[in-house]
Structures are given as structure tokens and as C-alpha cells.
Structure 1
Amino acid sequence: MSRFPAFLTCATAVFLLSAARADDSDGWVQLFNGKDLTGWKMVPNPGNGISGLTEKKVDGKVVAFEGTVKGKKVPLWRVEDGNIIGGGPSTHLFSERGDYEDFHFRVEAKINDKGNSGQYFRTAFEPGFPKGYEAQINATHADPIRTGSLYPDARTPLKDYKDKITVMNTAPHKPDEWFTQEVIAVGPKITILVNGKKTVEWEDPNYLYKKGHFALQAHDPGSIMTFRKVEVKELKK
């Protein structure tokens, strides 16, 4: 039997497998490279007791944003073991780009017991709780609004929206358990999924925010949030 057809069959199979893998990741851009904080900037919330902000670099790349809290230098956001880890007084970690409009924004994350974080999108680059939408990350924090919920405006009381959107009262994951949260935003329509299950499908009647940055939230000193993947696929309307 000729080896040539068999070789072609094998080569074709490899090619098709490679093509399938390329299609699976087509359009996805990794916002976290697994090594450092390239592409990210930190902004602390005012009045939270942080001073002396510095960047820790390794081989010219930022691997941590640090600050002085109660006289001690501490990491606020850092890369450790291939993960982004946030903690300490309230801060936000923003994408450098601020023109994301329509997209599929996905993270793989976990949050500690009593911790609180958020996956912001179409948000402004500013201190405090920035203007923009927020997909909540919270398993057991005192705030009863859990992972999978949407804050239509991070500055507006959620009670004003409870009759319009889905609010998760029970987290779809445990503390310190990895989960995937996805945000799909096209025009005024926002969809959130946790571990592949839809938790929110809502159309903003005011279309408050049309484009902006992505941001990850460190909510308070008792919260420790970990992200091992942060990625986006930009969409066309």
C-alpha cells in the first residue's frame, strides 16, 4: 500500500484540527497575558487611605501596583502564579483602551468568602465607583446582590432597577471556586452568563453608556479577587 495517501490523510487531519482550533479562538483577544499587567492601569478610590503609589517591575514590565496603607507598602493588584490578584482598600484596574463598544467580555475568576468584586464594562476611567455598567462578582459578601447580577449604573441604587432586570440572590458558585462570567453587550442590549447559564438579559431603555473601558474591582480590604483569564471578542451590530 502506498504511504503517500496515508500521509496526505494524516496531514489533512492535522490541518483541519489546527483550523478548527483557530476558528474556536477567532476574534478573541487576551487582555491579560498571564505574566504581567501590560495593558492595565490602576486608579484608587479617593479617601481610602492609600498613598505613595508605585509600580513594581520585572524586566521592564509592571507586575504589581503597590501603595502605602497604614504606613506599610502593600500590593494592591499583582500577578502571581499566572493570575491577577486584587486586594486591599478600594481600587479599580482599568484596560488602557477606552473605546470598547459592542463585545463579548469574558473572565475566569474566583472570589474569597465575604469578598466583593465586579466586572465593569463601557466604564469611564476615573476614581471612585466609575460611571458604567457592572456585572457583579460576589458569593457571600454582606451585599446581597450576587455574581450574575447587573448594576445598570454603578452609582445608582439597584432598587431603582429591580423590577427591570434579574438580580441573583444566590451565587451560582461557592467562595474560592473558579467560575466563568460573560458579558455580551450589543447596543443597549446586555446579556450576562455564569458558567454558561444566562442570568441577565436586559435592554437599557436609556442606553446610558455606549462605549468605554473595561475594569476589574477591588471593593474593600476584606475582599480578595483572582482572575486567571480576561478576554474580549469585539462584535459588529
Structure 2
Amino acid sequence: MIRPLLKGPHVRQAALFVTLAGLAAAALAAEPETFGKDANGFESLFNGKDLTGWQGDPDHWSVEDGAITGTTSAEKKLTENKFLVWAGGKLKDFELRTKFRLRNGNSGIYIRCLEREPGKGDALVGMQADFAEDPKWVGTIMEYLRRGILANRGEKVMIDEKGSRKVEALGDPAELLKAYKPKEWNDYHILCRGGRVVLTINGVVMADLQDDDPKRLAEGVLGLQVHQGPPMKVQFKDLWLKRLD
């Protein structure tokens, strides 16, 4: 059956419907990839099945046994660090909860980072919540390729507007390290609010930073790292984000 052409107000109504539908679709497309929210306002960043909502090199990133898995090998040796970046855009003030397990090597969770153009070295530059096979790096706040170590495990650090640092003892680094379980699943909680960054592993505060340096990155992307060097494997699961801004 041939349908009659729309005329007059019907044309306007149809055009309005198409416009609204297009706007709705665009709005949905712009929404960050999240997978539900808990009673405390944390959004899930990982569906437990695939890497929907994340961007990275499939040679190094996959899902294994319900966990985001980053690997390097002798055959796929890296000359620079690689990242799996959350596609939800830049973050400013937030809390992040996740579980991680490091088989060997070095890894970290990059927070408020800058993305660099391909071919210019590491794709992400900025602050990270560090952990590694070498216990020195467990629970350390590091700003890779910028200001270096900002707070070691066991330190409470204040950086003023001139970049000067004041360091106080937060705890004995060796005692704090006992909370970490090598090669097992560990809880990582990261708080970023203004210049304050606090790292907590398995319920124990590892490092506390108040960064008022105007050079600091106030916002940026979230990423997970596989490190250049010997073959390694790292896994993440139960990634939950709560925006505080």
C-alpha cells in the first residue's frame, strides 16, 4: 500500500521526532561506559566479560577468568609502557576501588593523566598508584615522566604552591608492606579530591599526598599499565568509580 505523504503539521511533528531521537541517541553515545551503580554511588567500569568501555592494544590486553588482564612476553617485548584507557573521559575528583593481582613485573593505575600523540613515547603521562614485584613501589604515588616520586609508601607529603615539599612519617614502610599479598588479589582504594591523593591497599593507608603545586594535573584520563621490561602479567577486577565533583 502506498502511504500518503505527510503534510502541514504532520511534517513538523515528524521532523521534531527525528530531531529528538537523534539528540537522544547522541546523548546515549556520549555517556561513559558504566555497568550499574551500587548503593553508595559507585559505578562499575567493567562488565566482567570483555573490554567494552576501554581502549587498548589487544596484543597486550584481554579478559581472562572474569578479569582485565595485561600481559607482555618475550615474543611481544615492549620498548615503552602500554595502557588500557577507560573511554569515559577525563576525571577530576573521584574515588576508585578495584582488586588487582600482579604475577610478576611492574604495573600501576594511572590517574588524571595526559594522553600523548602516537610515536612520542608512553601514551600516558602523569600520576600513578604504583605497585610492582619490587616492594619499593607498592603503594607509592609516582608522577611518571614529570615530577617523579611524589610520596613513598609510609609518607605523608605536602607540596606547596612553590613546589616545596614537607614530608612526615605516616607509618613504617616495612610494616605497611605486610598488608600487601604478593601474587594474590589485593584491594586498591584511590581517593583524589582537589590536591589530595590517598592510596589504600587492603584497608591500610600507604601514602597520603597534598599537592598544591600549580604544575599538578587537576584532571585527566584513567588507565591501567603493562610495563616495559621482562615478561609480566597483571589483572584487575571489580573496578568501581565514584565521582566527587
Q: TM bucket by the smaller chain? A: 0.5 to 0.7
Identity %: 28
Partner of residue 219, structure 1: 227
Q: Distance in 1 between matches of 2:124 and 2:173?
A: 22
1:232 aligns with one of 232, 241, 245? 241
1:36 is paired with a residue whose SS is coil
Partner of residue 6, structure 1: none
1:145 is paired with a residue whose SS is helix
Alignment pair present for 1:30 and 2:20: no
Partner of residue 18, structure 2: none
Range moving further from structure 2, 172-181 or 161-170: 161-170
2:107 aligns with one of 117, 124, 146? 117
Q: 1:201 to 1:38 in 2, by over 3 A?
A: same
Partner of residue 194, structure 1: 201
In structure 2, stretches of 5+ residues that fail to align are 1-35, 73-77, 158-166
Q: 1:124 to 1:158 in 2, by over 3 A?
A: closer
Partner of residue 100, structure 1: 91
Rg larger in 1 or in 2? 2
Q: 1:206 to 1:32 in 2, by over 3 A?
A: same
1:91 aligns with one of 79, 82, 86? 82
**How much has 1:35 moved relative to structure 2?**
0.6
The amino acid of 1:188's aligned partner reads G
In structure 1, stretches of 5+ residues that fail to align are 1-21, 44-64, 67-75
**How much has 1:175 moved relative to structure 2?**
2.4
Partner of residue 134, structure 1: 128
Q: Is the CA contact 2:141–2:149 (under 8 Å) kept in the aligned structure 1?
A: no
Q: Distance in 2 between matches of 1:161 and 1:148?
A: 9
2:242 is paired with a residue whose SS is strand
Q: Distance in 1 between matches of 2:209 and 2:84?
A: 26
CA RMSD of aligned residues (A): 2.6
Q: 1:212 to 1:159 in 2, by over 3 A?
A: closer
2:47 is paired with a residue whose SS is coil
Taking the TM superposition and a 5 Å limit, the aligned residue runs for 1:53-92 are 65-66=58-59, 76-88=60-72, 89=78, 90-92=81-83
Q: Distance in 2 between matches of 1:199 and 1:87?
A: 26
Q: Distance in 1 between matches of 2:151 and 2:206?
A: 15
Q: Distance in 1 between matches of 2:226 and 2:178?
A: 18
The amino acid of 2:231's aligned partner reads G
**TM-score, normalised via structure 1 length:** 0.67
**How much has 1:147 moved relative to structure 2?**
1.9
Q: Distance in 2 between matches of 1:123 and 1:131?
A: 6
Q: Distance in 1 between matches of 2:232 and 2:37?
A: 37
Q: How many residues align?
A: 180
1:79 is paired with a residue whose SS is strand
**How much has 1:146 moved relative to structure 2?**
2.4
Partner of residue 145, structure 1: 136
**TM-score, normalised via structure 2 length:** 0.65
1:203 aligns with one of 193, 210, 215? 210
User: In the TM superposition, what whole-angstrom CA distance separates every residue of 1:178-202 from its partner, at most 9, and x where no partner exists?
Assistant: 1011110001111111111111121
Q: Is the CA contact 1:83–1:228 (under 8 Å) kept in the aligned structure 2?
A: yes
The amino acid of 2:124's aligned partner reads P
**How much has 1:101 moved relative to structure 2?**
0.7
